[in-house]
Structure 1
Amino acid sequence: MHPTPPRQPARAAATLTRRAFVAVSVALLGACSSTGSLQAPAAAPVNEVRVVSSGGFTAAYKVLAPLYEQASGVKIVSSYGASMGTAPDSIPSRLARGEKFDIIILADSALDGFIAKGQAVPGSRVDLGRSLIGASVKKGTPKPDISSVPALKAALLNAKSVAYSASASGTYLSEELFPKLGVADRMKVTAKKIMSERVGAVVARGDAELGFQQASELLPFTELDYLGPLPDEVQQKVFFSAGVLKDAPNPEGARRFIRYLASPAAAGVIESTGLSPVARKP
């Protein structure tokens, strides 16, 4: 079993004190200095980097991107969408419409798919943090046990309504886990794939009794009780990774920003949002 992450780490990250904010900015600036200045070179077409990030890395990204802007003077233009699927704001849909980005941050398997299709640069993948799928319920409602495979199966069978993501974690649940547990027929009746919205928001307003998504996406919801990760035997361990798009307007700026996100100085923020950082903290 993996230890249950702290109940609300994202809120703590979002409320960094001014002293911590400055300290992290300085540390991040130093962390990237060995690989070149953070300032975009004069020859760069624009002094900005355009990023589209999937939900699993969003909590960490929303803390780290402003720190980078302050330390570097480079403008970060941010968009968000699911790693996969056909929702209008999903990353595949955005790219299919011709939206221009320098960086995509999403589940590792999805990024590998974009690289294989020639949409992202081969060799540009950098793993940023590992995530676990977890579950939450609305505060004040019963908290089912999901700490073992039999308990998880019972929780799924007993829930009147279940919500799961339309992205990487939901694909794993619907196509692999539910059939493996023998609950696929029940889930056809009680479970719903959530498009273009956080599962936590659906559970918080009472539209689903039990919600599953990446832990880093559930933890920011103070209206929920986080039940913990799926049992290790059936857990999907996903890396959220960054890659440079083939037609990136500012590829060099993109690489600098990715180095920053993968630096040891960023690891503490990443960890505080429920992800396990790839880089070791300084």
Structure 2
Amino acid sequence: MRAISSMATRQVLADLAAAAVEAGLPELDMESVGGVAAAERVAAGESFDLVFLASGALAKLASAGHVDAATVTPLMLSQTAVAVPSHSSEPAARPEGPAFADAAGLREALQDANRIGYSTGPSGTALVQLIDDWGLTTEVGDRLAQVQPGIPVAKSVAAGTVDLGFQQLSELVGHPGIRILGVMPDDCAIDTVFAGAVATASSSPAQAAEVLAFLASDDAAAIKTRHNFGIPA
């Protein structure tokens, strides 16, 4: 059974897929690429059984008839976190609490940063919109550095090419050479719900739906938590 996902969920989906096989369900041949590229390939008619993307991207594919709208299922909640370079070779740990006390603290950090890294995914899009909403685009716009699709922001932070990086927490935890300050403050949090859906091009839609139901079940919750994802309400 063939599936495609964004890079942000590749590791958790690999473990979820393995658990599904242990539960007697079909094995997934999972390909993880940049979210934009994944959506484009599904929209172009490439044959997949399951598609895993941010809920907004899946909604667009559903409205265009590329995935079955009735099967769109929220799976994981991802919080956007903030990281800075570190000289430590130890994997970055998940801290408790927010990176800054409030939005004002985050705005000040953006204004002080020399280079700001962000992703091509939904968290990056939301960050750019937030900066614009705050009226900071003119001030910090030329300091924004979007990484290439499929490349983790943590890599740029660790290399020192950016001194403030924003990406989903699950993508930052465990990366050496960075220190995670925490998630974004509650009053300006950027949270992304990742979902799955059965592709309309699937040759085995019933089996695909069974796998998707398992991934959304309570039996899969501990795997998501272990990978620093939350459970959507």
1:92 matches 2:39: yes
Aligned to 1:177: 130
1:261 matches 2:203: no
Aligned to 1:107: 54
Aligned to 1:9: none
Letter in 2 for 1:250: S
Could you tell me which runs of 5 or more consecutive residues in structure 1 were left unpaired when the two chains were aligned.
Answer: 1-48, 85-89
C-alpha offsets along residues 218-248 of structure 1, whole Å, 9 cap, x if unaligned? 1131332111111111113321110111111
Aligned to 2:191: 237
Match of 2:26 among 74, 79, 83: 74
How far did 1:73 drift? Answer: 6.2
Q: What is the rounded CA distance, in whole Å, between the counterparts of 2:221 and 2:109 in structure 1?
A: 34
Q: What percentage of residue pairs aligned between the two structures are identical? A: 26
Name the SS of the counterpart of 1:157 in structure 2: helix
Aligned to 1:57: 9
Flag the 1:264–1:191 CA change in 2: closer, same or farther, 3 A. Answer: same
Flag the 1:233–1:163 CA change in 2: closer, same or farther, 3 A. Answer: same
Q: What is the rounded CA distance, in whole Å, between the counterparts of 2:71 and 2:212 in structure 1?
A: 9
Aligned to 1:3: none
How far did 1:115 drift? Answer: 0.5
Q: What is the rounded CA distance, in whole Å, between the counterparts of 1:204 and 1:248 in structure 2?
A: 40
Flag the 1:254–1:157 CA change in 2: closer, same or farther, 3 A. Answer: same
Could you tell me which runs of 5 or more consecutive residues in structure 2 were left unpaired when the two chains were aligned.
Answer: 89-98
Flag the 1:73–1:269 CA change in 2: closer, same or farther, 3 A. Answer: closer
Aligned to 1:33: none
TM-score norm. by structure 1 comes to 0.73
1:212 matches 2:166: yes
| Paired residues of 1:132 and 1:238 also in contact (CA < 8 A) | yes
1:188 matches 2:135: no
Letter in 1 for 2:216: A
Q: What is the rounded CA distance, in whole Å, between the counterparts of 2:190 and 2:222 in structure 1?
A: 23
Q: What is the rounded CA distance, in whole Å, between the counterparts of 2:54 and 2:5 in structure 1?
A: 10
Aligned to 1:226: 180
Aligned to 1:146: 100
Total equivalences in the alignment: 222
| Paired residues of 2:17 and 2:27 also in contact (CA < 8 A) | no
Aligned to 1:271: 225
Letter in 1 for 2:143: T
Match of 2:75 among 114, 120, 128: 128
Name the SS of the counterpart of 1:119 in structure 2: coil
Q: What is the rounded CA distance, in whole Å, between the counterparts of 1:159 and 1:61 in structure 2?
A: 34
C-alpha offsets along residues 172-198 of structure 1, whole Å, 9 cap, x if unaligned? 111x20012232123321111112211
Flag the 1:51–1:191 CA change in 2: closer, same or farther, 3 A. Answer: same
Q: What is the rounded CA distance, in whole Å, between the counterparts of 1:112 and 1:126 in structure 2?
A: 11
| Paired residues of 2:43 and 2:61 also in contact (CA < 8 A) | no
| Paired residues of 1:166 and 1:193 also in contact (CA < 8 A) | yes
